Amino acid sequence: MSGVERVRSVGARRRKTRSGVVLTEDLIVDAALRLIESPSGDRLSLRRLGAELGADPTAVYRYFRDLDALLLAVADRLIGDAIAAFVMRDHWVDSLRDLAHSLRRSMRQHPRLAHLRAIRVTAGPHEMRVVDTGIGIMLSAGFAPADAVRHYRDFVDTVLAVAAVDAAELTDEQEAAEQEAWSRVYAALPADGYPNVHLVREHLPSMYNSAFPGTIEKLLDALVQAAPTPA
C-alpha cells in the first residue's frame, strides 16, 4: 500500500485564495475534515473543497498528488489527535490498553473516516509515531524483534477493525432494530430448532454491546502468556 504522497518543491510559491488566505497543507486538511464531517460530507470532491477554501480546485494538486493522498493526510491528522495525550504507563500491558482505547475513541469521534483508517497505511508522521511506540512497547515486554513486529501487527489491526465496527454510523431506526433483534427476535427462538440459542436466551441482549473491551482484554491476556518477561 502506498503512503501519503505530497507534492513538494523547494521554495515553491505559496498561492493566496480568493479571500486572501495563503494555502497550506494543514489548511487544506482542515477544510477536507470539515467537509467530510458535515451533514452532506459522505462524498468529498475537489469542487466542494475548492469552494470551501475559496480557491480553484486544482490548487490542491500543488500540495497533494490526488484526493486519495489528501484523505490519507486527513487520516494521519486524526491519528495524531488520538495519541496527543498518550503517556507510557509503568507496565507495557497498561500502555497497550491505553493506546487501544485512545485509537477507539478517535474512531468513534470521526466515524466517516473509520473504515479508511482501519484498512489503509498513511505513512504519515503521526502513524509513524504510533508504529514506533507500539513496537517499542512490544520490545519492552521482551519479545524478539520479529515477534514484536508480528504481535504489534496483530494487536493494532484488531484494535482498528473492532473500533471501526463500533464507529459505524446507524440511524435511530437501525439502532432500535438491532436492539429489537437481540432482545426479542433471537430471545424468542424456540428450543425446537434453536436449542443452543434458546438455552442462553436471557443473555442474548448483551450481544448488542460493544465487543471491543472484551476483545482487547483477551488479546492482552494472550500477549501476557506469550511474553518472555513476566507480567
Nearest to 168 by CA among 77, 218, 104, 82: 104
Coil, strand or helix: which one is 86?
Answer: coil
pTM of this structure: 0.86
Nearest to 125 by CA among 82, 60, 80: 80
Q: Rounded to 5 degrees, what are φ and ψ at 132?
A: -65, -40
Contact 73, 25 (CB under 8 A): yes
Residue 6 confidence (pLDDT): 44
Residue 4 confidence (pLDDT): 45
Local structure of residue 22 (DSSP, 8 states): B
C-alpha angle with apex 75: 216 to 129, nearest 5 degrees? 65
Contact 48, 35 (CB under 8 A): yes
Residue 20 confidence (pLDDT): 60
Residue 41 confidence (pLDDT): 66
Neighbours of 73 (CB within 10 A): 23
Contact 55, 61 (CB under 8 A): no
Q: Rounded to 5 degrees, what are φ and ψ at 97?
A: -65, -45
End-to-end Cα spacing for the chain: 35
> pLDDT truncated to tens, each residue of the chain (231 aa)?
444 444 444 334 455 555 566 899 999 999 999 999 988 766 788 999 999 999 998 999 999 999 999 999 999 999 999 999 899 999 999 999 999 999 999 999 999 999 999 999 999 999 999 999 999 999 999 999 999 999 999 999 999 999 999 999 888 999 999 999 999 999 999 999 999 999 999 999 999 999 999 999 999 999 999 999 765
